[in-house]
Structure 1
C-alpha cells in the first residue's frame, strides 16, 4: 500500500473541479481545498475527508481512495446545490486525470447525502472512489 498518491490525487481533483466550465457557471471560483477566512459565499464546493485502503497487486503499489466533495449553500432549497453536485459528478466520473506521481486507474461515484445543517445551511456530500497505482511503491 501507499499513501504517497493522496496529495497528487487531491491536487488533480481540485484542478479538475476548478477548471470545469459547467461547475464554474454555477459556483464561480468558489471551489476550495481549504475554506478561506471570513464570510463564505452563498454556494460553494469544498474538498473533504478521505479514507484510503490498500489495493496493491504483484507489480504495483496501489490504493483505493474514498473521498468526499461537499456542496454547501445558504439558499432555502437544494436546487442550486443539486445542480452543482451534478456538475461535480459529471466532471469527475470516468475522468482521465494526470497526477504528479502515479496514475488514476479509475474514478467512480459511490454515494451522496443531502441534509439540512444548523444555521439554515444545506449540504450535499458526494463520495467518490479513485483507484490509484504507483509503480515506485511496488
Structure 2
C-alpha cells in the first residue's frame, strides 16, 4: 500500500473512533460524500504528497460543513478534529508516521448564504517500513 493511502486510512479510522468528534458531526465523516448527507459533516479534502528524504511529505485538508450551528459549530468540529489528529501516533500499514501537525484553519460562508465551510489543514511525514531478513 502506498503511503498516501495508508495515511488516509489511518486518519479516517482515528476520526471515526473519536467519540467527541463523531458526536459533534453526527457520525458523518466521509471520503466520498453522499448527495443527501445531512449537515453537519466532515469530508476528507484535497491532499498532496511529495518525496521526502527517506519517505514522503503529505499535506491534507478536512472540510467541515455546517448550517444550523453556523460558524461556531464548524469551529467546534474543526477543534475536535485538530485534537484527534495533531501529534497523533497513528499506525499505518507498511509505513511509519513520523509526525502529523496542524497547519492552519479557515471558515467561510458558502454562496447559499446559510452554509458554513471550515477547512483545517495538516502536514504529515511518513517513512516506508522495510522488512529486514
Query: TM-score, with normalisation over the residues of structure 2?
Result: 0.91
Q: Please give the secondary structure, in 2, of the residue aligned with 1:118.
A: coil
* Structure 2 portions without partners, runs of 5+: none
Q: Is the 8 A contact 1:75 1:122 kept in 2?
A: no
Distance in 1 (CA, whole Å) between partners of 2:92 and 2:116 is 32
1:121 equivalenced with 2:119 (yes/no): no
Distance in 2 (CA, whole Å) between partners of 1:27 and 1:91 is 13
Q: Which residue of 1 aligns with 2:12?
A: 14
Distance in 1 (CA, whole Å) between partners of 2:82 and 2:58 is 16
Distance in 1 (CA, whole Å) between partners of 2:109 and 2:85 is 25
Query: Pick from 6, 27, 30: which aligns with 2:28?
Result: 30
Q: Which residue of 2 aligns with 1:97?
A: 90
Query: TM-score, with normalisation over the residues of structure 1?
Result: 0.88
Q: Please give the secondary structure, in 2, of the residue aligned with 1:78.
A: helix
Distance in 1 (CA, whole Å) between partners of 2:129 and 2:77 is 35
CA RMSD for the aligned pairs? 1.5
Residues 33-52 of structure 1 correspond to what in structure 2 (within 5 A)?
33-36=31-34, 38-52=35-49
For 1:81-120, what per-residue CA distance to the aligned partner results, in whole angstroms no more than 9, with x for missing partners?
1111000000001111011110100010001111111122
Q: Please give the secondary structure, in 2, of the residue aligned with 1:124.
A: strand
Query: Pick from 127, 134, 137: which aligns with 2:128?
Result: 134
* Structure 1 portions without partners, runs of 5+: none
